[in-house]
Amino acid sequence: MSGFSAEWLRLREPADAAARSPALTARLIAWRRRHDALSVLDLGSGTGSNFRCLARVLGGKQRWRLLDHDPALLARAGEALRQWAVRRGMTATDEGDETLILEDDANHYRLERLCLDLNEDWARLAAAPNPRLITASALIDLVSADWLARLARRCRQWRAALLIVLSYDGSIAWEPAMEDDERVREWINRHQCTDKGFGSALGPDAAPTLADLLERLDYRVDLRPSPWLLAAQDAALQTALLDGWTEAARHIAPGPNIWLDDWSRHRRDLIERGHSRLSVGHWDLFASLE
Ligand SMILES: C[S@@+](CC[C@H](N)C(=O)[O-])C[C@H]1O[C@@H](n2cnc3c(N)ncnc32)[C@H](O)[C@@H]1O
């Protein structure tokens, strides 16, 4: 689970889709009914999982800007979205290098891929047409308090709604439990708050912090749990998490880390034998001014 490889994003996408809060999806659909053509800005889009999850739910005419700083992930998004559309009987047409049009009788999606650094390039976004909906999935636990405050102010200027999903909430529960689970979780949560390119990250505090910022700006905010509930058949995702977390803990826990290696080995053994279940807490947030 090092960085954000396309393989890691592919592995987590089904678990993310299953975890999303149905109550917030219902609120999003009700909000959508009040808008005709919809313009969406997806922050940290990776290969486009947010679009794949939401496009059918939102339906109709949509313009999406998929924004990420990783050109390889954006290139993969182009291929993955084309395949996604063709599997659903839609036509897919390129318009220049960065724009893809997907359509069928009932839906028209215009997808623009933007390679931008969210830490530096907000000015370039200001020049674009204002989005009505800002989305992000598995992003805001990486950012700082200052960055979130800038995001909240910018959304308020645009009068945009926000759907910000799958922000880690700090909770991890393994079954069966082991003695060092809590010790590892504490190191993971410390690692969550290290700098991920935006200054000190908020980690598990990000979603409640954003909710508070938006309420102060007169938004109506809904914050709901969206945990991953992983069973024996999710062994690949459990293993990727175990590897990533072990690495994160090793990175910052003072050595020697024999206890950590033992813990990791036992956990891997349980996963391989089909005896491991894991839940990881997240928050989903929807906010609008209407
Ligand atoms: C955990 S991934 C989530 C990707 C996608 N939203 C999903 O749910 O599959 C975080 C994404 O944020 C992007 N990202 C991280 N820092 C960024 C920055 N400074 N500017 C733009 N994108 C960034 C990464 O490249 C990655 O695609």
Q: Which atom of ligand 1 is nearest to the CA of 16?
A: 8
Q: Return the domain boundaries, the chain.
A: 6-172+199-229+282-288
Q: Which two tokens stand for residue 146?
A: 């200052």
Q: Which atom of ligand 1 is nearest to the CA of 45?
A: 6
Q: State whether the beta carbon of 4 lies less than 6 angstroms from ligand 1.
A: yes
Q: What is the pLDDT of residue 123?
A: 67
Backbone angles phi, psi at 116, to 5 degrees: -140, 150
Per-residue pLDDT of the chain (290 residues; tens, 9 = 90+): 336 999 999 999 999 999 999 999 999 999 999 998 899 999 999 999 999 999 999 999 999 999 999 999 999 999 999 999 999 999 999 999 999 999 999 999 999 999 999 988 776 766 567 899 999 999 999 999 999 999 999 999 999 999 999 999 999 999 999 999 999 999 999 999 999 999 999 999 999 999 999 999 999 999 999 999 999 999 999 999 999 999 999 999 888 899 999 999 999 999 999 999 999 999 999 999 98
Domain 6-172+199-229+282-288 has CATH 3.40.190.10: no
Q: State whether the beta carbon of 137 lies less than 6 angstroms from ligand 1.
A: yes
Q: What is the pLDDT of residue 3?
A: 61
Q: Where is 167: in which H helix or E strand?
A: strand 161-175
Q: Which atom of ligand 1 is nearest to the CA of 44?
A: 12
Evaluate if pTM is beyond 0.75: yes
Q: State whether the beta carbon of 73 lies less than 6 angstroms from ligand 1.
A: yes
DSSP 181: H
